[in-house]
C-alpha cells in the first residue's frame, strides 16, 4: 500500500467500525423534553414486522426503480402516488395490483430508466420527493430535489416548474411539501443551498445551515422565505386547523414548530427531540403526526456534530463518503417510525429490529386503515393494515 494512502485506509476502517457498531446507538426520548426513558415506551417497540394493532407487513414491489420517498392520494382517494429513483411518479392501481406511470419532472429521459445506478443520473432525470394534491383543482404539486417546485395536472405527464428560487437564491435541494387545502398555499423546504441530494450526507457532516422553509402562493406566484439558517430541513406538515407547521430538521434530530396563526405567528420553537434522523412528517387521520426516521442517531454522529471539524475532515478525504455510507446502510440500520401527539409526545412507535423488511424509513402515510411506508433504499412500498 502506498504510504500516502495508509492514513486514509486506516480512517476508513475505523469509520466503518464506528458506524456499524451497535454500542454507539443512543436511547430514544419519550416526549419533547431531553429526558430519556426506554421503559416508558418499551411496550410500543417491536422487533419484527408485526404489531398487536396491525396485520402482517405487506411488500408492494416496484419494477425498475427503488426509493418510494413520499406518498399522496388524489381527491378520489386513489393511489398512492409516489416518486422513485429514476425520476418517475407512479400510481398504484389497487384493482389491478400494479403500478402505472403517471408523471415525470424532467424532459430529459435519456438513460433514466433501466437497471443502473440512478443515483448517478438523478440530477438529470429528476428525483421527486415531496408530493401533495390540491384536492380542489386535482393538480399534483411536487418538490423535486433538482427541478424545484413543480405542478402537473390530473392527467399526469411532464410537470411544469412553478418556482426555482427565492430572494435570488436558487433551490439546490427541494424536499418536503404540504398544502393548505382551504387556501391552496404551499409550504416547502429547500434542505441546503450548498449541497444537492446526491450529497445529502455532506449536509449533515459539514454542519450546513443554509436550509430554508418557504411559502408559495399559486394565486400571486410569490415565494416567501419563512425561516432560514436551518440544518437540513426535510418534511413539513400543517396542523389540523392550519395554525402551525411542523418541520423535520434532520441534522439536529428534532421537529420544529413554526406558528402561522395566534399571537405567536412568525415565531418558531422546538416541538420534539427524536431518537434519530427524521425524514418526512405527515398528519395522521387519528390525530397527531407520523414521522419517518431514517436511522437512529449513534454516538459517533453526536461526536461529529459536536465537533464540526471532524465532519469537514471526513469530507475532504479522497474517497466517496456517499458510496461508503450507502454500502453500509444496506447491511446496517433498521426501520423506525413514530406517531407524535400535537403536544410532541409519543403515541405510537414501530421498529423493525432486524432491519430486513423496512429500513431508512422516509415516510408513513396513514390512509383507510393502512400505513404506507416509504424508504429511500427499498425497491418496494411497505404496507401495514390495521386489524
Is residue 277 included in any domain, yes or no?
yes
Averaged over 134-161, what is the pLDDT?
Answer: 98
Is residue 32 included in any domain, yes or no?
no
Is residue 33 included in any domain, yes or no?
no
Q: Report, in this order, helix, strand and coil percent for the chain, each rounded to 5.
A: 20, 40, 45
Is residue 39 included in any domain, yes or no?
no
CATH code, domain carrying 87 = 2.120.10.30
How many domains in the chain? 1
* Domain that residue 259 falls in: 52-386
Lowest mean pLDDT among 76-85, 109-118, 236-245, 359-368: 109-118
Is residue 8 included in any domain, yes or no?
no
In the predicted structure, residue 174 carries a pLDDT above the cut 50:
yes
Is residue 12 included in any domain, yes or no?
no
pLDDT at 354 (0 to 100)? 65
Question: Sign of dihedral through CA atoms 261, 266, 267, 272?
Answer: positive
Is residue 330 included in any domain, yes or no?
yes
pTM, two decimal places: 0.85
Query: Half-sphere exposure (CA, 13 Å, Cβ side) for 306?
Result: 7
Q: Read off φ and ψ for residue 136, nearest 5 degrees.
A: -80, -50
pLDDT digits (tens, 9 = 90+) for 15-52: 544 444 332 333 333 333 333 333 333 333 333 334 55
pLDDT digits (tens, 9 = 90+) for 263-315: 999 999 999 999 999 999 999 999 999 999 988 887 766 676 666 767 677 76
Alpha helices by DSSP H, listed for the chain, are 6-20, 38-41, 122-125, 200-205, 299-306, 308-316, 321-329
Is residue 16 included in any domain, yes or no?
no
Amino acid at each position: 500500500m502506498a504510504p500516502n494512502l495508509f492514513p486514509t485506509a486506516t480512517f476508513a476502517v475505523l469509520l466503518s467500525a464506528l458506524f456499524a457498531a451497535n454500542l454507539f446507538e443512543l436511547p430514544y426520548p419519550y416526549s419533547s423534553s431531553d429526558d430519556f426513558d426506554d421503559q416508558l415506551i418499551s411496550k410500543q417497540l417491536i422487533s419484527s414486522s408485526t404489531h398487536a394493532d396491525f396485520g402482517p407487513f405487506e411488500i408492494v414491489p416496484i419494477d425498475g426503480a427503488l426509493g418510494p420517498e413520499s406518498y399522496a392520494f388524489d381527491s378520489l382517494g386513489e393511489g398512492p402516488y409516489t416518486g422513485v429513483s429514476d425520476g418517475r411518479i407512479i400510481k398504484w392501481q389497487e384493482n389491478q395490483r400494479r403500478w402505472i406511470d403517471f408523471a415525470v419532472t424532467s424532459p430529459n429521459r435519456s438513460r433514466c430508466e433501466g437497471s443502473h445506478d440512478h443515483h448517478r443520473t438523478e440530477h438529470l432525470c429528476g428525483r421527486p420527493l415531496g408530493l401533495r394534491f390540491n384536492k380542489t383543482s386535482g393538480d399534483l404539486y411536487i418538490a423535486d430535489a433538482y427541478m424545484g417546485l413543480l405542478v402537473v395536472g390530473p392527467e399526469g405527464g411532464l410537470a411544469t416548474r412553478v418556482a426555482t428560487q427565492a430572494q435570488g437564491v436558487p433551490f439546490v435541494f427541494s424536499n418536503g411539501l404540504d398544502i393548505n387545502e382551504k387556501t391552496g398555499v404551499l409550504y416547502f423546504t429547500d434542505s441546503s443551498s450548498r449541497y444537492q441530494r446526491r450529497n445529502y450526507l455532506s449536509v449533515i457532516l459539514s454542519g450546513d445551515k443554509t436550509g430554508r422553509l418557504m411559502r408559495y402562493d399559486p394565486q400571486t406566484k410569490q415565494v416567501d422565505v419563512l425561516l432560514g439558517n436551518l440544518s437540513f430541513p426535510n418534511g413539513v406538515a400543517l396542523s389540523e386547523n392550519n395554525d402551525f407547521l411542523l418541520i423535520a430538521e434532520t441534522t439536529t434530530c428534532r421537529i420544529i414548530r413554526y406558528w402561522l396563526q395566534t399571537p405567536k405567528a412568525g415565531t418558531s420553537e422546538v416541538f420534539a427531540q427524536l431518537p434519530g434522523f427524521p425524514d418526512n412528517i405527515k398528519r395522521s387521520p387519528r390525530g397527531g403526526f407520523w414521522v419517518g426516521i431514517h436511522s437512529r442517531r449513534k454516538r459517533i454522529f453526536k461526536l461529529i456534530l459536536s465537533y464540526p471539524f471532524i465532519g469537514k475532515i471526513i469530507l475532504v478525504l479522497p474517497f466517496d463518503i456517499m458510496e461508503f455510507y450507502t454500502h453500509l446502510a444496506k447491511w446496517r440500520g433498521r426501520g423506525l417510525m413514530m406517531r407524535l401527539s400535537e403536544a410532541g409526545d409519543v403515541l405510537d412507535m414501530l421498529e423493525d429490529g432486524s432491519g430486513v423488511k423496512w429500513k431508512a424509513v422516509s415516510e408513513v402515510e396513514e390512509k383507510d386503515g393502512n400505513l404506507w411506508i416509504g424508504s429511500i433504499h427499498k425497491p418496494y412500498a411497505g404496507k401495514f393494515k390495521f386489524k
